[in-house]
Structure 1
Amino acid sequence: MLVEQKNIPSLRFPEFEGAWEEKKLEEIADVKGGKRIPKGMSLTDVDTGQPYITVSNMENGSVNLDKIKFVPDEAKHKIRNYKILISDIFISVAGTLGLIGIIPQELNNANLTENANKLTNIKCVQAYLLRYLETSYFSRLIENVKTTNAQPKLAIYALQSFKVRSPHENEQQKIAEFLTAVDGKIGLLSKKKDLAERYKKGVMQKLFSQSLRFTNKDGTPYPDWEEKTLGEISEKPMYGMNAAARQFDGENKYIRITDIDEDSRKFVPKPLTSPQGEILDKYYLKVGDIVFARTGASVGKSYLYKEFDGQVAFAGFLIKFSISGANESFVFSQTLTYAFKKWVKVMSMRSGQPGINAEEYQTFSFQLPSQEEQQKIADFLSSLDQKITHISQQLTQAQAFKKGLLQQMFV
């Protein structure tokens, strides 16, 4: 006969045994709120010696020092009792719910926003409690608050009554140290990815400003670049299908604005769907096709079709340009530049909801090199993309590994 063992994790260091103890969070720590700046006063960029932490500063389990503002001198005494220490844990409780972390040493004794609470006077290993709050147990509490309130706010009593299971202190310490090491690897991969993306942006800026040029094999320069419009190097643009999405039929994929990843600009369906009704051949994307979002907050978002994405039809809020007079990868890279973003911002803000139609997209102009130089630039940028993709995959695997650990190492 199998007997269920309660409050014992499925993955555990071999030197430990016995059931974990369950307590309410209020038995482990004091839950206290932050304080808003007095009415009529504003935060300042001037360093007054009293930093103020807002929810928008909270990132990756810590606080972004680059975004910090300060309490004006005239407000210091009015909110002096709402400080947070490096020995505390912050939790955002309004706006973006459930951001948790520990402040860096530089912000010790900073003021804390009214949209966050702090766990203070913690009676267990601080890093252990932080990891416990990263588990699905706490995320379920957050999701419940989101779905039951029109304007979600995590009440102090909900935090106080949240149940935490924990072992003896020495096991807490070992779990915390192990997961901190995993976080270190994730942090290094995140930094590596960020540096690779910044390098690509810098190289693109130099390439497209022509301060950095490729040359022929004999060292001679390629011909001067010529100004072209999108309309001049593509077939007549076409709007997508006016069809609703349905469950994926196993063959025909449907790409909508929301299926284009904001960062990578890859086809990342959420979820994978098919269009309803008959699909005419003209709506299937082919090699050389670029689609653009034509309306809404995502106007200007672009996607270059790749054969490995399969049989993909495009939706009505997208406009297709079939590139025929240039290298499609080179043209697509132009849609990732600051110059293109600036053009989109100006062109789209006509009236009401932002939008750019097919005729307007055709007028976008840029400098175009010879076919050979286009190919070299496209190949070089593609090699950088492959490196970034490889790092991203490593990062995703590390994050998935940590998620699995959180599910198995806690109860």
Structure 2
Amino acid sequence: MAKKKQIELTIEEKLQNALVPKEEQPYKIPNNWCWVRLGNITQIKGGKRIPKGTSLLKENTGYKYIRVTDMKNGTVLNDDIHYISKDIYNKISNYTISKNDIYITCAGTIGRVGIIPVEFDGANLTENADKIIIKHINKNLLVKVLSSYIVQKQIQEVITTGCQPKLAIKKIEQLKIPLPPINEQQRIVERIESLFVKLDRAKELIENTLAQFEQNKMAILHKAFTGELTAKWRKEKGILKDTWKSMALENCGTWSGGGTPSMSCGDYWENGNIPWITSKDMKNIYIEKTQKYITEKGVECSSAKYIDKPAILFVTRSGILRRIFPVCMVKIPFTVNQDLKVLVPSKMVCLEYLYWICIYKSNKILGTCMKSGTTVESISTDKLKKFKITVPTIEEQQEIVNILDKLLAKYNKIKNLEQQLEKIELLKKAILAKAFRGELGTNNPDEESAENLLKEILAEK
């Protein structure tokens, strides 16, 4: 049976199909802008995994393969690029990306967007990212609008869940974006970049200050745990350095683990008053409040132990372990989830001393106690317990803590700087939100409508 001949739509009909109906528009934009779906103004194509049984290469074969881990900060980083052989390239040569395209990650880490630097023109693209092919639209503007809250929110709403979250091409094509006239696009980009340059300069200064603080702090801690800070104190007390002993963490106190209540216990969060600590709460030296509070029944229905003594907390399972080893102190009654371990110090070990020496040794702990071959970064509890620290007398421990309190007191305001970094990121999001509402003061209402630009794009599709 012969196929029915497809009816060719007029440009006006295509335009009406491409425009987002008024009742579906997220918010009001300038009159000469228009809401469109991404798939109506671009082409979106997927990447390709390398054939089963083959591997990526570190040596330069001339055939670059871009992974999601290379896609950061709106670009592609060049510090750990992998390659494929010529044979593999010949098999997947249709799945390359151009310097004129935009990438968007679609599996695992979802929603990152960015441009392709010229040195990656023609590189092969991972199956965990798609390429957005554009014409007649400012590339930098599209990256910025796709990075804005209004689009990222849409992305989060359409991600499919499962073993690995995914963002389908059909869902990307349906993303609603505000389209300004072509000249306005360039003005918006220039305005955003001008504001971002100032914010990035402030961010760099803050990060440099934080890095200097961290360097100074570690120098002070080095002196503390090599005995240099208390050398004068020992001399005055007539105490020798040989009073310092090597001790495994398992012998420093009582250990316990965490857990999550069974679903059969009913509502164990409502009206809860016992802090239930997770890795998300491990942000300060002392934990005084948490995101969740559990009921007594909830504690009874979990494998977590109720702790009513001052304790040290260690994160033993979390993606954050890629970068740091989180350690905190708690002095209020609490319980923890299964990703944390609790150490209640014995009478012979000062809580604050234990905290600071674990901070000082954190990189070494990561280097010697991390599990290998696991999908989620985790610390071996057995190795952590066997990890050794130097411990002087309880009196000298307290003296070290007293000195550290004085030396590090001037750095207590460092948290304010960290909060400033968070504010800078919020400011960037606010700038993008204003930009794509037409509120940056760059719009010229007398310019021809973006609908004319849309017609030009549709005529070539």
Range into which the TM-score falls when normalised by the shorter chain: 0.7 to 0.9
What CA distance in whole angstroms lies between the structure 2 residues aligned with 1:212 and 1:223?
8
Contact 2:311/2:342 (CA < 8 Å) preserved in 1? no
Instruction: Determine if the alignment matches structure 1 residue 409 to structure 2 residue 435.
Output: yes
What CA distance in whole angstroms lies between the structure 1 residues aligned with 2:62 and 2:212?
32
What CA distance in whole angstroms lies between the structure 2 residues aligned with 1:95 and 1:278?
32
Q: CA deviation at 1:297?
A: 9.0
Structure 1 equivalent of residue 363 of structure 2: 338
Select between 36-45 and 296-305 the one with higher mean Cα deviation: 296-305
Q: 1:115 aligns with which of 119, 128, 134?
A: 128
AA of the residue aligned to 1:228? M
Instruction: Determine if the alignment matches structure 1 residue 200 to structure 2 residue 214.
Output: yes
Relative to 1, partners in 2 of residues 1:212 and 1:115: Cα closer, same or farther, differing over 3 Å? farther
Structure 2 equivalent of residue 64 of structure 1: 77
Cα distance per residue 1:321-349 (max 9 Å; x no partner): 135434433312333413333554479x9
What CA distance in whole angstroms lies between the structure 2 residues aligned with 1:192 and 1:99?
25
SS of match in other structure, 2:354? helix
Q: RMSD of the alignment, in Å?
A: 4.6
What CA distance in whole angstroms lies between the structure 1 residues aligned with 2:165 and 2:371?
35
Relative to 1, partners in 2 of residues 1:143 and 1:332: Cα closer, same or farther, differing over 3 Å? same
Q: CA deviation at 1:214?
A: 3.7
Q: CA deviation at 1:402?
A: 2.3
AA of the residue aligned to 1:189? K
Structure 1 equivalent of residue 16 of structure 2: none
Contact 1:190/1:395 (CA < 8 Å) preserved in 2? no
Relative to 1, partners in 2 of residues 1:199 and 1:21: Cα closer, same or farther, differing over 3 Å? same
Q: CA deviation at 1:126?
A: 1.4
Structure 1 equivalent of residue 277 of structure 2: 256
Q: CA deviation at 1:289?
A: 2.2
What CA distance in whole angstroms lies between the structure 2 residues aligned with 1:319 and 1:80?
52
Relative to 1, partners in 2 of residues 1:138 and 1:266: Cα closer, same or farther, differing over 3 Å? farther
Instruction: Determine if the alignment matches structure 1 residue 189 to structure 2 residue 213.
Output: no
What CA distance in whole angstroms lies between the structure 2 residues aligned with 1:182 and 1:268?
37
Structure 2 equivalent of residue 144 of structure 1: 157
What CA distance in whole angstroms lies between the structure 1 residues aligned with 2:58 and 2:209?
27
SS of match in other structure, 1:36? coil
Q: 2:241 aligns with which of 213, 217, 223?
A: 223
What CA distance in whole angstroms lies between the structure 2 residues aligned with 1:106 and 1:265?
44
Structure 2 equivalent of residue 291 of structure 1: 313
Normalization by structure 2: what TM-score? 0.66
SS of match in other structure, 1:339? helix
Q: How does 1:73-222 map to 2 (within 5 A)?
A: 73-147=86-160, 152-184=165-197, 185-186=199-200, 189=203, 193=207, 196=210, 200=214, 204=218, 207=222, 213-214=228-229
Relative to 1, partners in 2 of residues 1:28 and 1:66: Cα closer, same or farther, differing over 3 Å? same
Structure 1 equivalent of residue 6 of structure 2: none
Cα distance per residue 1:205-245 (max 9 Å; x no partner): 88289689446579x899364323446554x5566798678
What CA distance in whole angstroms lies between the structure 1 residues aligned with 2:337 and 2:42?
53
What CA distance in whole angstroms lies between the structure 2 residues aligned with 1:54 and 1:164?
26
Contact 1:229/1:362 (CA < 8 Å) preserved in 2? yes
Structure 2 residues without counterparts, runs of 5 or longer: 1-21, 438-461
Q: Rg bigger for which structure? A: 2
SS of match in other structure, 1:153? coil
Contact 1:85/1:109 (CA < 8 Å) preserved in 2? yes
Q: CA deviation at 1:25?
A: 1.9
Percent identity, aligned pairs only, is 25
Q: 2:41 aligns with which of 6, 9, 28?
A: 28
Relative to 1, partners in 2 of residues 1:107 and 1:7: Cα closer, same or farther, differing over 3 Å? same
What CA distance in whole angstroms lies between the structure 2 residues aligned with 1:156 and 1:295?
33
Q: CA deviation at 1:98?
A: 1.6
What CA distance in whole angstroms lies between the structure 2 residues aligned with 1:36 and 1:240?
39
Relative to 1, partners in 2 of residues 1:379 and 1:171: Cα closer, same or farther, differing over 3 Å? farther
SS of match in other structure, 1:273? strand
Decide which structure has greater helix share: 2
What CA distance in whole angstroms lies between the structure 1 residues aligned with 2:299 and 2:40?
61
Q: CA deviation at 1:44?
A: 0.4
Q: CA deviation at 1:22?
A: 2.4
What CA distance in whole angstroms lies between the structure 2 residues aligned with 1:80 and 1:172?
33
Select between 185-194 and 61-70 the one with higher mean Cα deviation: 185-194
What CA distance in whole angstroms lies between the structure 1 residues aligned with 2:288 and 2:61?
45
Normalization by structure 1: what TM-score? 0.73
